[in-house]
Each structure stands twice: as structure tokens, then as C-alpha cells.
Amino acid sequence: MSGNSFTKRVRISAPAEEVFKWHARPGAIERLSPPWDPLKILIPSKGIQKGEEVLLEMKAGPFPFKWLARHTDYQENKFFQDRQIKGPFRKWIHSHRFEPDGEDACLLEDHIEYKLPFHFISGFPSKKIIQKKLERIFTYRHQITQRDISLHLKKKPDKPMTVIVTGASGVIGSTLVPFLTTGGHRVIRLVRNSSSTSQDELFWDPLSGILHTDSIEEIDAVIHLAGENIGSGRWTPEKKRKIIESRVKGTELVTKKLASLERPPKVMICASAIGFYGNRGDQILTENDESGSDFISSVCSIWEKAAFPALERNIRTVFLRIGVVLTPLGGALKRLLLPFKLCAGGKIGNGTQYMSWIDMEDVLGSIYHTLTNESIDGPVNIVAPNPVTNKEFTKTLGKVVARPTPLTIPSTAVKLAFGEMGKEILLSSTRVMPEKLLKTGYRFNTPYLDTAIRQMLGRA
């Protein structure tokens, strides 16, 4: 059976030692996993040294499979190699090389040798499919490596930070944590399972007011993302209560406990949402605009006020007013992908309502920008600088997935199916600009919708 190989190289504007360290830190596998083809770590590796293993769960279409890889070679700052021990290929050897290219740059090379699993599919068509998929994956991996390292070097603090993160298992949190750890920072997750806490986890129960701070040493920052999902199910009185309680009680508990420490964190970053502004038609909104009059507006307003203990302790406090986050891992884009691929996509209502969106990589970049920029406090709009109407969004997504979008979902149907939630989430128009990010020098990775969706789906 003949073998095949794939090689991709990229020049990165950072020393080989920095790029090697980035790959060796916890979270590198998660950061390098494309959002359109995600993996799950079943048994994590303790590092990339020779002999270490990692067990992953991956998918081939809808079918899951397990992949056991072992690191078989290691030369610090120069080379490491891993091999498939169990998985779908007859052979898979992945070599990572790091070669200096001047004082402040290096060449990163990924080289893979593989054999396909069965002789009857080992011909040219299968090789072509594999090579095309590898090209997509490693184009993405190299883009992420370049961008992450650039951000971390540009905004490098005097020493690595220790950051507490709530909502670490959510869509944003599960991507933010590996972004921070590969940058060399320590992340302590607040978790609700008291039996599974490790040295990098703390048990908390926001509804019961439990958060033990006795074991907390010096904390540099807190990123508070936890809260009940507002986009699932109708807003019954019970659901509304949970939405408010999960945000207010959680924020009050975190801010009170950490603000009371002898050495409190320097910065408290709390999630909020652009729902703060409510339904405002085509009015351009910035951080200076007041709250709207919708249910979500009142939730966001109460949510932000719950962080008062941090302000009272003179902790720099930031409120992330987050827009529609684009990622196939969750949220709006994940829910829309299947119907759009089945030609069942279309605009909602008349389609003139504005959607203030942002892709996941710019969410991470924006959070890190606020984390490391001491001049930023108060509300910060986490949105791209080019909001679009629902009609424009529908047309763009249809174009990217190469499907027609002929349908219209009447606003009356939305209200009947989803009630108040549908009215405020799907039919409201909120045209928000990231004024504070732009004025403080943040440069967006993907400011335009078409590029953002293509990169998130691996179709750039």
C-alpha cells in the first residue's frame, strides 16, 4: 500500500522559541481545532514530550470516532512529532518543525505522512479529498497561530496573568480559556460540580451564594461570562426569573467575594449584551446611548448594576455588550446552518431589522484588548464595525453555503412560535457600533460579514 504526504509551511513574525512554547502549552489542541470540524478531548495530554498521549473524539460526517495519539519525538524549540496509535488511518505521523528566519521570525512546517485505511479507497479521488481537507485545516491552523501569537506579543503584560473565568464551558468561554492558556496565562475556572475541582477549578453555586475564596491567591483579572441561555425556549415567567437570577446573583456573588479580598483583582470584565439598547430601528448606537425599554434591556441594565461592589472597591470594571457571535460551535450560526443547507433559509419578517454581529476570533481579540488596556472601562460594544440587516445576513449566508434563500418567515409566525423571545431576539433591530474598541486602537480580524462566515466555515 502506497503512502501519502502533506506539507504546509508558514512564516510567523515571532522567534521560534515563542512559537514552540505556544504549541507546548495547555489549550493548543483546542485552539488549532477548526470550528467547523471540532474535536473533544477525552483524556488530555500532560505535554508534548516524548511518550505523552492524548485521546480525542472526532467526527467523520455524523459518525464519531476516537483518535489516540502519542508523542514520539521532542527537540525543544525545534521539533516535535506525534503518531496515531488508534484511529481511522493505517498510518499517520505528524511532524512539527520550527526554524529561525532572522532574529524575530521563524518558519513553522507541518509535515504529515499517512496511509489510507482500505485499499479500495486508496486511489487518487480519496487522496484528493484528504489533501483538500488538510489544506483547509492547516490554512486555518496557521492563521490562528499567527494571530494568537501576534496578539499575545503585542499586548504582553509584565508577567503571566492569573485569570478567573466563569461560564468556561459555554460557547465563548470554551474558546477563550485555551486562547489565554496558550498565551502563557493561568486560568482558574469556576465550576458547579463540587466533586471535580482541580487546582485550576473552584466550586461555586451562585443561587446558593457559595464561592469559597480561602484558596485564592493573587488574582489579576476576572472574566465573568456565566448566565442562563436567553435564546432557548419561550420566555415563561419561570424562564424570565432564571434569566434574571442567573445573571444578577452570579455577578453579585463574584464581585462581592473577589472585591473583598485583601488583594482584589485589577480588572473585572463582566458579560452583558447589545440587548441593553433594545429595539431602536436604524439608529446608530454607541456606548453613550441609554438603555431601551424591552425585557432584555432591563435584564442587561440590572446585570451591569450588579457589579457595583467592584466599582466601589475601585476595580477597573468593563461591561462587554456582546452582539450576535458567529461560530458553528453554537448560537445563531449553528442553528441556521442546517436549514440553510437544506434550502430552507430565508429572511425573518421584512428583513430590515439590523443584526450587530461579530465573529468568534474578534470576540477573543476584543476581550483580550480590554483585559490588557488599562484605559478601558465601563461599557464596550463587542460587535464588528459593519452591522447588516437580516435580509443582507440571509443573502450572505446563502451565498457562502451555495444555497438559494427564497423563503420568508412572517413576523406573525415568529411571535406565535416564540412569543416575547421571538419579538425581542429575532425581530428587534439593534444597529450598534464598536466606538470604544475603534478609538482605543483595536484592529478587527474580520470586519466584513462575508469573510467572517467563510472563515468560520472553512470556506475562505
- In this prediction, residues 185-190 reach a mean pLDDT of 96
DSSP characters over 194-229: TTS--TTEEEEETTTTEE--TT-----EEEE-----
- Range 19-30 average pLDDT: 97
Tens-digit pLDDT profile for residues 62-86: 788 999 999 999 999 999 999 999 9
Name 236's bridge partners: none
Q: For residue 257, give every residue at least 6 positions away whose Cβ sits within 8 Å of its Cβ, in sequence order, or none.
A: 211, 213
CATH superfamily of 163-456: NAD(P)-binding Rossmann-like Domain (3.40.50.720)
139 pLDDT higher than 60: yes
Question: Residue 107's pLDDT band (boundaries 50, 70, 90)?
Answer: very high
Distance CA 444, CA 365 (A): 8
Task: Record the cell numbers describing residue 379, joined without a space.
Answer: 461599557
The mean per-residue pLDDT over the stretch 171-191 comes to 96
Q: Residue 125: pLDDT above 60? A: no
> Nearest Cα to 119, choosing from 14, 1, 203?
1
Integer CA distances (angstroms), 445 to 77, 183, 368, in order: 28, 18, 13
Q: What is the DSSP letter of 358?
A: E
Q: Model confidence over 387-420: pLDDT tens digits?
A: 999 999 999 999 999 999 999 999 999 888 889 8
The percent of residues above 90 in pLDDT, for the chain, comes to 79
pLDDT at 124: 44
State the pLDDT at residue 123: 44
The model carries a pTM of 0.94
Q: How far apart are the first and last CA of the chain?
A: 34
Over residues 166-174, mean pLDDT: 95
pLDDT reading at 61 higher than 90 = no
How far is it, in rounded angstroms, from Cα 270 to Cα 154?
Answer: 24
DSSP, res 290: P
Please list the residue range(s) of the chain that carry CATH number 3.40.50.720: 163-456
Residue 63 has a pLDDT of: 84
Per-residue model confidence (pLDDT) at position 74: 97
Closest C-alpha to 252, from 211, 213, 212, 194: 211
Q: How confident is the model at residue 197 (pLDDT cuts 50, 70, 90)?
A: low
CB 408 within 8 A of CB 346: yes
How much is the mean pLDDT over the chain? Answer: 92
* 4-154 belongs to CATH 3.90.1300.10: no
Angle between helices 390-400 and 449-456 (to 10 degrees): 40
Residues 6+ apart with CB under 8 A from 310: 255, 258, 259, 264, 268, 317
- Average the pLDDT over each of 16-30, 88-102, 198-212, 294-308 and give the range with the smallest value: 198-212
- The pLDDT of residue 327: 96
pLDDT higher than 50, residue 230: yes
**CA separation for the pair 211, 249 (Å, rounded):** 12
pLDDT of residue 1: 41
Closest CA to 365 of 225, 155, 157, 221: 155
CA dihedral 256, 298, 269, 31 (to 10 degrees): 130
> In which residue ranges of the chain is CATH 3.30.530.20 found?
4-154
Average pLDDT over residues 330-340: 92
Q: Could you read off the pLDDT of 427-447 as tens digits, one per residue? A: 999 999 999 999 999 999 999
Residues 15 and 100 sit within 8 Å (Cβ to Cβ): yes
Looking at residue 249, its pLDDT comes to 93
Distance CA 353, CA 390 (A): 6
